[in-house]
Chains A and B, each alone.
Chain A
Amino acid sequence: MMQFTDWDILRNLLLAARWTILLSLFAFIGGGLVGLILTFLRSAKYASLNVFFKVYVEIFQGVPLLMQLFLTFFGLSLLGIDVDAWTAAILSLTLFSSAYLHEIWRSCIEALPKGQWEACRTLGLTYAQTMRHVIIPQAIKMAIAPTVGFSVQIVKGTALASIIGFVELTKAGTMLNNATFEPFKVFGLVALLYFIICFPLSVLARYLENKNHATR
């Protein structure tokens, strides 16, 4: 049996952490894009679409992320569509984050006084002009802190991808533990690495939150 030095363990975990970060980034960017589109469509008030948005958000917020992963990974292959763990993970994390980010951004937009919309309409601005020049600049200030805060949830969410066999930080930890039988050391390091990724994000979110309060 192969021997693992401490350095081997750390090195393998660091290599796997790349995938955690990459997966988080993809999920955040993908979720952000889908979330943006949903947010724009929703505030444009196509009343007929509203039910769809509500159901969408309820499903992705109400079903555990793990089940979403299973359904994407196993469900799609049942339908004859072959997805690898990486695609399934990105797909479900993207949909999951899009629902949450959409909800965060929608609430920021709705928190703005209705009078802002009415003033724009009265002045003859189009919907796009209103969004771009009046609504988004104000909503963004409110949205930044919770958005960064949610990115921490995404990082932690990627751990679930280990269960469908995607080798990110958690999965690498499990594999190394099976090889070394040193759970405390291995999972201690895994936890430390998650902390190192998430802590700066939490600090940033808190900083932005305070800054935002100070300027209002």
Chain B
Amino acid sequence: MPLVSIDKVHKYYGENHVLKGVDLKVEAGEVISIIGRSGSGKSTLLRCINGLESFQEGAIYVGNQAVEDDELKLRLLSRSVGMVFQSFNLFPHKTAAENVMLAPQLVLKKDAEECKALAKKLLEKVGLGDKLDAYPANLSGGQQQRVAIARSLAMSPKVLLCDEITSALDPELVGEVLHVLEQLKEEGMTLILVTHEMNFARDVGDRVVFMHQGKVWETGASDEVFANPQTPELQSFLSVVR
């Protein structure tokens, strides 16, 4: 049974038909890269998976939990689905460690000591063991994004959604964030990445999903899709971005 299963999902923003019957199954441990033009619905799809946006038709399951428009169910869902944003969205009034600790403490009701140890462990894992007490404003973009990843991991999600998490970074800082993703893949984390990093998608991703006009236009194993794009739309997309 797939970990994430998206079934004929339609999403409208008012009159704007943004997702037009998206089908996608993601197995546990898979790394999926979603690519496509601006406006093709990549972010919208990710945001439907964790309930940040509601959709009008179709179904999404994470494990055996259905994604529904219901506060309580969405809060439960948030324990299985983590999300990292392009703009980090760290809490600026809290230190790196406090950012990581907040949710386990409030949502999972773990005690303070346990949360501190967890924060330390996770920040060390993303290479920020020396920045526990730093405030986001005093960290570089790459460091902030790694704190944000640690913050998501603190809830031990089954799948991590990443929406262009390196797009706001200076080029020299992209590598350190991608490196953390590689590490997560090795540990068996399921990742769904919306990305513009084609090399990363090809080398690290297991499977590529090309979205076009609100549909999954073409999908397949990463190396094949990049070497041998089938549809003219993907061919032209790849020729532009490469």
Question: CB within 8 Å of B: which residues of A?
Answer: 113, 115-116, 118-119, 121-126, 129, 133-134, 137-138
Known: A129-B106, A133-B102, A138-B93. A124 touches B79 (CB 8 A): yes
Is B52 close to A, CB under 8 A? yes
Please name the 4 residue pairs, one residue from A and one from B, whose CB atoms are nearest each other, closest first. Answer: A124-B78, A115-B89, A123-B103, A119-B89
Return the contact of B78 from the options A113, A122, A134, A138 (Cβ within 8 A).
A122
Query: When chains A and B are docked, how far (Å) is the Cα of A129 from the Cα of B51?
Result: 19
Instruction: Give every chain A residue within 8 A of B50 (Cβ-Cβ).
Output: 122
Query: When chains A and B are docked, how far (Å) is the Cα of A122 from the Cα of B77?
Result: 9
Q: Pull 11 A–B residue pairs with CB atoms less than 8 Å apart, ordered by A.
A: A113-B87, A115-B85, A115-B87, A116-B89, A119-B91, A122-B78, A123-B102, A124-B79, A124-B107, A129-B107, A134-B91
A122 touches B83 (CB 8 A): yes
Chain B nearest CB from A216 CB (Å) reads 9
Known: A113-B89, A125-B107, A137-B93. A118 touches B151 (CB 8 A): no
Which partner residue on chain A sits nearest B161 by CB separation?
A: A122
**In the complex, chain B residues 66-99 whose Cβ is within 8 Å of any chain A Cβ:** 74-76, 78-79, 81-83, 85, 87-93
Query: When chains A and B are docked, how far (Å) is the Cα of A211 from the Cα of B71?
Result: 39
**In the complex, chain B residues 31-73 whose Cβ is within 8 Å of any chain A Cβ:** 50-52
Query: When chains A and B are docked, how far (Å) is the Cα of A134 from the Cα of B151?
Result: 14
Question: CB within 8 Å of A: which residues of B?
Answer: 50-52, 74-76, 78-79, 81-83, 85, 87-93, 102-103, 106-107, 151-152, 155
Query: When chains A and B are docked, how far (Å) is the Cα of A119 from the Cα of B78?
Result: 11
B74 touches A121 (CB 8 A): yes
Given contact pairs A119-B90, A133-B102, a sample of 8 additional A-B residue pairs in the complex whose CB atoms are under 8 Å apart: A116-B89, A118-B85, A122-B81, A124-B79, A124-B103, A133-B91, A133-B106, A134-B91
A121 touches B151 (CB 8 A): no
Which of B79, B81, B93 has the most A CB atoms < 10 Å from its CB?
A: B93
Query: When chains A and B are docked, how far (Å) is the Cα of A113 from the Cα of B51?
Result: 19
Known: A113-B87, A133-B102, A133-B106. A121 touches B78 (CB 8 A): yes
A116 touches B91 (CB 8 A): yes
Known: A137-B93, A138-B93. A121 touches B106 (CB 8 A): no
Query: When chains A and B are docked, how far (Å) is the Cα of A133 from the Cα of B51?
Result: 22
A123 touches B92 (CB 8 A): no
Query: When chains A and B are docked, how far (Å) is the Cα of A122 from the Cα of B50?
Result: 7
Query: When chains A and B are docked, how far (Å) is the Cα of A58 from the Cα of B214?
Result: 42
Which of A116, A119, A121, A138 has the most B CB atoms < 10 Å from its CB?
A: A119
Instruction: Give every chain A residue within 8 A of B155 (Cβ-Cβ).
Output: 123-124
Which partner residue on chain B sits nearest A114 by CB separation?
A: B89
Chain A nearest CB from B103 CB (Å) reads 4
